[in-house]
Amino acid sequence: MNGATWLRAAPALFGLAALLLWEGLVRALDVPNYLVPGPLAILRAFLEDPGGLLLALLSTLSVTASALLAASSLGVLLALAMAASPWARAAIQPWAVVLQVTPIVAIAPLIIVWVGDPFTSLVVCATIVAFFPVLSNTAVGLAAVSPELLDLFRLNGASRWQILWLLRLPAALPYFLAGLRISGGLALVGAVVAEFVAGSGGFATGLAYRILEASYRLRIPRMFAALVLLCIAGIAINAALAGFSRWLLRRRGEV
Amino acid sequence: MLTLRGVGRRFPGGTEALAGVDLDLGEGDFLALLGPSGCGKSTLLRLIAGLDPPDTGSCVWAGAPPGPGQIGVVFQDPTLLPWARAAENVWLPLRLGGQRREAAWPAVQAALAQVGLADAAARYPRALSGGMRMRVAIARALVTRPRLLLLDEPFAALDEFTRHKLQEDLLALWQRARCTVVFVTHSIYEAAFLARRIVLMTPGPGRIADEIASPLAPSPQTRLDPAYAALVGETTRRMQRALEMP
Ligand SMILES: Nc1ncnc2c1ncn2[C@@H]1O[C@H](COP(=O)(O)OP(=O)(O)OP(=O)(O)O)[C@@H](O)[C@H]1O
Ligand SMILES: [Mg+2]
């Protein structure tokens, strides 16, 4: 194995070592399952009911995907409006920040009551958590155009539409993609938090509900199994979005 | 072609970048704006391009002022679109003028061939060397067959060999296309080699201090010509004198 291969294998090796250490410690110190279950106990808990947990994961993921889609569309639209008119920028910016800094747990109950439909309300909550990185990154990207290129466009009689379509939007793409990657993780977090707040009130199908349920019944290994699934989902979303950006930028000859 | 009278420009904050600039630009001129950093060369070039208005004085075109695509510009950095291939970058000015890809392609190919890059048409900017990127930028400026070509220190970042080559190419292009060229530089050698008229500028505020008419015939051989050395010496002497004057 050469250096690069080692580097690529490093996360897996480190994880494996940590799991072995974890299992070893739990056994050596005789820690009871309801305090800290070992990896094997967690795996057993997962295998007892893989269908239920995976279905719950699917439910959470569908909220996440819908929220990410909504967040990126909303973020790009608002960023475009902000780039198009200083008036829109002044009007939108403070409210975007207000939404960004408001703890979602504080407003989620209100949203759930107002929206009514459980799925939609979860998506709304996750969208609020996730849209800010796309908005702010895209806005920066739309504005970060070289002034010399703008001059070149002006000298050749470019219309506002041409400047947007041929210069600002393509220049903003890498910024948008960087924001999208952050928003992907946030959408998952937002979905789970909203599910926690919603609890059993109506839409009890997500992973967060499985975690709550397992903790009420002191089925701690099952709770951990659900947590592990969440982590894996988060890592997968991040990796998928990173791969997507790399693919897109490479296709455009930029990487 | 263009007459500047008493042109001044002051930036917000009080910097007087240009004051009392008189300049006559004739059809077919090759003019070098030569001067130390900060003497207002780029500011003057932007005024000529019509990108900024003068604060005082007047810029008057003989006949109709140039429309879209009639002024070509090349900046110090190539400023290509990184997401577009070389040929697409060259297509850009025509595209902005409403020409579709198929209609524009012969002109794009010709412009790339003019700068010796016919083979690199499909490459992205990041796969080109600095000199090649600059050539693409020049092809992009030439593709609309502009009446006026404005260059702002285009070769300053290149190595000596590439710079010489591109200078010779530019001279040949000018002789062939017979457009009007304004070339900003802070290199006396470059100005003496390229220009028919060397305009000396001094800072604080930017003024035109002197002008030298080149006695050389435009040719790649002039670098070894004793008359070229004499012109460099003369330009150096008059630049020094201009800078010493209060
Ligand atoms: N946007 C601006 N705002 C304020 N001052 C400016 C601006 N642009 C240029 N200046 C000032 O105007 C003066 C002339 O600038 P200019 O860029 O024309 O110089 P230059 O001769 O092109 O210099 P260089 O050879 O370094 O490019 C400088 O003193 C500069 O600080
Ligand atoms: Mg300059």
Query: Going by CA atoms, what residue is nearest to atom 7 of ligand 1?
Result: B11
Per-residue pLDDT of B88-115, as tens digits, reads 999 999 999 999 999 999 999 999 998 8
Which ligand is nearest to the Cα of residue B51, counting in written order? 1
Atom of ligand 1 nearest to the CA of B44: 18
Hey, where are the domains in chain A?
38-251
Rounded to whole angstroms, the Cα distance separating B123 from B87 reads 8
User: Does CATH place domain A38-251 in 1.10.3720.10?
Assistant: yes
Instruction: Tell me what pLDDT residue B178 has.
Output: 85
Instruction: Tell me what pLDDT residue A35 has.
Output: 87
Which ligand is nearest to the Cα of residue B37, counting in written order? 1
Contacts 24+ apart (CB under 8 A), A81-89: A82/A139, A82/A142, A83/A139, A83/A142, A83/A143, A83/A164, A83/A168, A84/A164
CA–CA distances in Å: residue B89 to residues A101, A108, A156, B209: 42, 49, 13, 38
Per-residue pLDDT of B184-229, as tens digits, reads 999 999 999 999 999 999 998 899 999 999 999 888 889 999 999 9
User: Does the beta carbon of B187 sit less than 6 angstroms from any atom of ligand 1?
Assistant: no
Query: Going by CA atoms, what residue is nearest to atom 26 of ligand 1?
Result: B37
The yes-or-no verdict on residue B132 having pLDDT over 60 is yes
Query: Phi, psi at residue B172, to the nearest 5°?
Result: -65, -40
Rounded to whole angstroms, the Cα distance separating B214 from B221 reads 15
Positive or negative CA dihedral for A137, A141, A143, A144? Answer: positive
Rounded to whole angstroms, the Cα distance separating B219 from A183 reads 60
The token pair at A35 is 């305090």
DSSP annotation string for A237-252: HHHHHHHHHHHHHHHT
pLDDT band of residue B83 (cuts 50, 70, 90) is very high
ipTM of this complex prediction, to 2 decimal places: 0.91
When scoring A148, A151, A153, A155 by the number of chain B Cβ atoms within 10 A, the one with the most, hence best to mutate, is A155
∠ at Cα A183 (A181, A187), nearest 5°? 125
pLDDT band of residue B75 (cuts 50, 70, 90) is very high
Beta bridge partners of B58: B5
Which residues, 6+ apart, have CB-to-CB distance to A99 below 8 Å? A128, A131, A132
pLDDT (tens, 9 = 90+) of chain A, 255 residues, equals: 678 888 889 988 999 999 999 999 999 999 888 888 999 999 999 999 999 999 999 999 999 999 999 999 999 999 999 998 889 989 998 998 898 888 888 888 899 889 988 899 999 999 999 999 999 999 999 998 999 999 999 999 999 999 999 999 999 999 999 999 999 999 999 999 999 888 766 566 889 989 998 988 989 999 999 999 999 999 999 999 999 999 999 998 877
Residues B92 and B84: beta-carbon distance below 8 Å: yes
Helix/strand number for chain B, H first, E second = 7, 9
A-chain residues near B73 (CB < 8 A): 151-152, 155
Radius of gyration of chain A (CA): 23
